[in-house]
């Protein structure tokens, strides 16, 4: 489905990013694994991706840093020749009620979750245009659609990602580049695994399908959006939330 294409995926060493990277590799795409922090999980994803017979490389990058992002994007483009698919998945949380939220917690979430999307998309835009059928896939959140107490920073960033997605869709459509967002709901990741059981139970109670989603279910949508099957879809926000945000 993605044979011969190259996908650059931020936050690709764990969670949703890892699932997307491995699903795309299984479908034939070469993978640029972009991570920050612990290198071992990224190496593990690289080995698993290579098991599907594709090229995979790892790149440490702080996506919130404009110049570091630029250098990383240039290195990836040089290593792979071109980038056809960009998945902006990297994100952090610094949850707290507005009255208790620090300026640094607000700024750091905006910097990674929103500015990081701008940085990587801008620096890869020329390669995506040259690909003649480029795909931008941004991982947003239902929090960016309906808000969520304790997440003023995260919700604002993800709402910004949605606006950014629609704008880039309009700007790049003439170059046959599509831009879409996926808005996950409660997904089983290391992040949600640490939530108190009462929080998980309450979440399941408000989800019509009565369960959390899996990273693979997000990855399946990402692969669809990266493939030719979605060639006439752009500027969309696809919720993958079990019906929580209708």
Check if the beta carbon of residue 42 is closer than 8 Å to that of residue 13.
yes
Query: How do the residues of the chain divide into helix, strand and coil, expressed in percent and rounded to 5?
Result: 50, 15, 30
Quick one: CA dihedral 239, 188, 62, 143, positive or negative? positive
- Pick the catalytic residue from 59, 66, 154, 232: 154
Distance CA 235, CA 222 (A): 14
154 is catalytic: yes
Q: Which residues pair with 151 in a beta bridge?
A: 96
Check if the beta carbon of residue 164 is closer than 8 Å to that of residue 118.
yes
Length of the chain: 246
The residues annotated with a catalytic role in the active site are 154
């Amino acid at each position: 489905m993605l044979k011969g294409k190259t996908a650059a995926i931020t936050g690709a060493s764990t969670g949703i990013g890892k699932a997307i990277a491995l699903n795309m590799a299984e479908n034939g795409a070469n993978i640029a694994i972009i991570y920050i922090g612990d290198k071992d999980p990224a190496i593990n994803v690289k080995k698993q991706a290579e098991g599907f017979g594709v090229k995979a490389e790892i790149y440490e990058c702080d996506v919130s840093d404009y110049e570091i992002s630029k250098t990383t994007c240039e290195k990836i483009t040089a290593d792979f020749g071109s980038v056809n698919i960009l998945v902006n998945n990297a994100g952090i949380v610094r949850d707290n009620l507005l009255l208790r939220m620090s300026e640094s917690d607000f700024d750091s979430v905006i910097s990674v979750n929103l500015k990081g999307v701008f940085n990587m998309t801008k620096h890869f835009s020329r390669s995506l245009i040259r690909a003649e059928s480029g795909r931008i896939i941004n991982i947003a959140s239902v929090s960016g659609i309906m808000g969520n107490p304790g997440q003023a920073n995260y919700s604002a960033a993800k709402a910004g990602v949605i606006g950014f997605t629609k704008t880039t869709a309009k700007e790049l459509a003439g170059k046959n580049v599509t831009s879409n967002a996926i808005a996950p709901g409660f997904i089983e990741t290391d992040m949600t695994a640490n939530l108190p059981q009462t929080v998980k139970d309450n979440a399941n109670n408000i989800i019509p399908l009565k369960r959390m989603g899996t990273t693979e279910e997000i990855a399946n949508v990402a692969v669809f959006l990266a493939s030719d099957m979605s060639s006439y879809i752009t500027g969309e926000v696809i919720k993958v939330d079990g019906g929580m945000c209708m």
